[in-house]
């Protein structure tokens, strides 16, 4: 129960900037990723989708409306059209020059400087995504990017299994946002090395089993210092958050 783990010591963790340091700069842009580096995060988390002309672009929603000045679905827009969009003004006028990045731009600019936790968004609706991501990451590994600096995750079990099969040297994880039984946990071991779990689902017994099975555990999306503390007492390996908690008294970053 929460009472018992209240007395557990606070544990260090890896800090993962959710869509970049998205409290301070527009999510999933060069500005939010650079901010995460400036703040000293260990990883950036970013979302990828496939454009009409078959490129991986970094954006959370299927529709560009919320985070750009444009309209339409990413899958209906070409890179040329996507690159005309302003991906920063919705957040603040000072970011009006931000564009929707291509994954390759992020790999070139930030690969090796900070860990990359890449989320495949809705691969069930974009069947080419998994092989595309695998081949792009392999090509960057061939030119020197360390596989240990990369992690790939998705809510889609089948696609993660497929990604792992075709890209065994990159750490693969499952995103979970509903309670799961321990039988499933066992079956994920063949392809997943980490689990990214909504913080409300995390309990002490679950963590104990997950650790026994050898999974790393990340929790999302932490928005206040109280929940951060609870996660630290549970001993999660990584905290996915928009915010830098370094200034809070309790945060023990690795
Ligand atoms: O990495 C966890 C988190 O990113 C999953 O939710 O909607 O922000 O992609 P969402
Ligand atoms: Ca995400």
Dist CA 176 CA 240 (whole Å): 13
Q: Which CATH class is domain 2-63+103-241?
A: alpha beta
Taking the CA of residue 214 as centre, how many other CA atoms within 13 Å lie in the half-sphere pointing to its CB? 10
Region of poorest pLDDT, from 6-10, 158-162, 165-169, 192-196: 6-10
What mean pLDDT, rounded, does the chain reach?
Answer: 94
Dist CA 31 CA 17 (whole Å): 12
Residue 237 designated active-site: no
**Triad 233, 215, 198: Cα angle to 5°:** 55
Cα of 9 vs centre of ligand 2, distance in Å, is 29
Outline where DSSP puts E strands in the chain: 14-18, 43-50, 56-58, 115-120, 150-154, 171-176, 194-198, 216-222, 238-241
Choose among 189, 188, 190, 194: nearest CA to 150: 194
For the segment 100-113, the average pLDDT, to the nearest whole number, is 98
ipTM confidence score: 0.98
Does the pLDDT of residue 121 top 90, yes or no? yes
> Which comes out higher in pLDDT, residue 184 or 72?
72
77 CB neighbour count, 10 Å cutoff: 21
Q: What is the pLDDT of residue 250?
A: 60
Q: What are phi and psi of 218, to 5 degrees?
A: -115, 145
Q: What is the pLDDT of residue 232?
A: 94
The tokens for 78 are: 């070409």
Choose among 50, 41, 5: nearest CA to 20: 41
pTM of the predicted structure, to 2 decimals: 0.95
The tokens for 57 are: 């672009």
> Which comes out higher in pLDDT, residue 102 or 11?
102
The tokens for 114 are: 């900070």
Dist CA 123 CA 127 (whole Å): 6
Q: What is the pLDDT of residue 251?
A: 61
Dist CA 243 CA 223 (whole Å): 7
22 CB neighbour count, 10 Å cutoff: 25
Nearest protein CA to atom 4 of ligand 1, as residue:
18
Gyration radius of the chain over CA positions = 18
For the segment 208-232, the average pLDDT, to the nearest whole number, is 94
For the segment 18-24, the average pLDDT, to the nearest whole number, is 98
Domain ranges within the chain, ordered by starting residue:
2-63+103-241
At 175 the three-state DSSP class reads strand
The tokens for 2 are: 């929460």
154 CB neighbour count, 10 Å cutoff: 25
Does the pLDDT of residue 186 top 70, yes or no? yes
The tokens for 133 are: 């991501």
Task: Considering the candidates 18, 55, 199, 237, report the single residue annotated as catalytic.
Answer: 18
Q: What is the pLDDT of residue 5?
A: 63
**Closest ligand 1 atom number to CA of residue 47:** 9
Residues whose CB is under 5 A from ligand 2 (ion)?
47, 119
pLDDT digits (tens, 9 = 90+) for 31-87: 999 999 999 999 999 999 999 999 999 999 999 999 999 999 999 999 999 999 999
> Which comes out higher in pLDDT, residue 251 or 20?
20
């Amino acid at each position: 129960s929460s009472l018992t783990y209240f007395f557990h010591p606070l544990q260090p963790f890896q800090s993962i900037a959710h869509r970049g340091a998205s409290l301070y700069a527009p999510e999933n842009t060069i500005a939010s990723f650079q901010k995460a580096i400036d703040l000293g995060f260990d990883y950036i988390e970013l979302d990828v989708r496939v454009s009409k002309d078959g490129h991986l672009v970094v954006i959370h929603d299927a529709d560009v409306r919320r985070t750009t000045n444009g309209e339409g679905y990413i899958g209906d827009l070409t890179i040329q059209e996507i690159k005309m969009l302003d991906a920063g003004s919705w957040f603040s006028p000072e970011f009006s020059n931000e564009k929707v990045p291509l994954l390759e731009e992020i790999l070139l600019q930030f690969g090796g400087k900070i860990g990359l936790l890449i989320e495949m968004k809705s691969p069930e609706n974009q069947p080419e995504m998994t092989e595309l991501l695998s081949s792009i990451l392999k090509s960057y590994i061939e030119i020197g990017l360390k596989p240990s600096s990369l992690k790939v995750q998705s809510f889609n079990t089948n696609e993660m299994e497929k990604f792992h099969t075709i890209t065994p040297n990159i750490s693969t994880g499952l995103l979970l946002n509903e309670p799961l039984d321990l039988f499933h946990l066992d079956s994920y071991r063949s392809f997943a090395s980490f689990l990214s779990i909504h913080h409300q689902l995390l309990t002490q017994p679950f963590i104990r089993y997950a650790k026994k099975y050898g999974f790393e555990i990340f929790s999302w999306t932490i928005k206040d210092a109280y929940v951060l503390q609870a996660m630290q007492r549970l001993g999660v390996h990584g905290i996915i958050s928009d915010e830098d908690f370094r200034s809070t008294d309790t945060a023990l970053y690795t």
